[in-house]
Amino acid sequence: MSEITIRRFRAGEGDLLGQVLHRAVHEGTVGAYDEAQRMAWSPAPPQGPDWDARLTAGVTLVAWAGRDPAGFMTLLPGTGYLDLAYVSPDWQGQGVAAMLCGLLERCALRQGLDRLSTDASVLARRFFLKQGWQDGPRQDVTRHGVTLHNYRMAKDLKPALERAA
């Protein structure tokens, strides 16, 4: 694995991260979601001011492999909700998501949060379970008239808070 650098999202990088999201959905979830579901999930790469605003609304960490984004995750401040978690298909299975998730957990602890939550795709669910998250109910979500499913998941950070005290 080449060197990965992780830093916070910077203005002007949104379009690159939109490409990561779109590729992760269309290439990385084949076998878990059919083509209609993938198109409903990401009909086009997100971009523009609304997308940038979503990325800056929380703590967005970006993993970089040289000049290319390998993945990113966004934690909404004060809520503990992991809003976005995407890794480029070129980097899936190489530890990028684990690095990002670990750093965001530390950010949450610094914010004094004792719990994280997310709505995880089928593939992300497997990853989060390995990271110690608790499985929640399957949810059906309709996007553009197509039903997709995901899983409500959570991670209790209280043990980490208690160890730090």
**Beta carbons of 154 and 131 less than 8 angstroms apart:** no
Is residue 65 over pLDDT 80? yes
Q: What's 99's domain CATH number?
A: 3.40.630.30
How far separated are the first and last CA of the chain, in Å rounded? 36
Q: Is residue 141 part of a domain?
A: no
Q: Is residue 134 part of a domain?
A: no
What pLDDT score does 158 carry? 83
Per the structure, the count of domains in the chain is 1
pTM above 0.85, yes or no: yes
Is residue 120 over pLDDT 70? yes
Residue from 12, 97, 21 nearest 56 by CA: 12
Q: Is residue 140 part of a domain?
A: no
Mean pLDDT of the chain: 94
Domain of 22 in residue numbering reads as: 5-117
Paired residues of 147 in beta bridges: 142
**Beta carbons of 63 and 74 less than 8 angstroms apart:** no
Can you spell out the DSSP letters for 2-15? ---EEEE--TT-HH
Q: Is residue 56 part of a domain?
A: yes
Q: Is residue 11 part of a domain?
A: yes
Tell me the mean pLDDT in the region 46-62. 96
Cα-Cα-Cα-Cα dihedral sign, residues 39, 100, 11, 108? positive
Tell me the mean pLDDT in the region 33-60. 96
Tell me the mean pLDDT in the region 27-42. 96
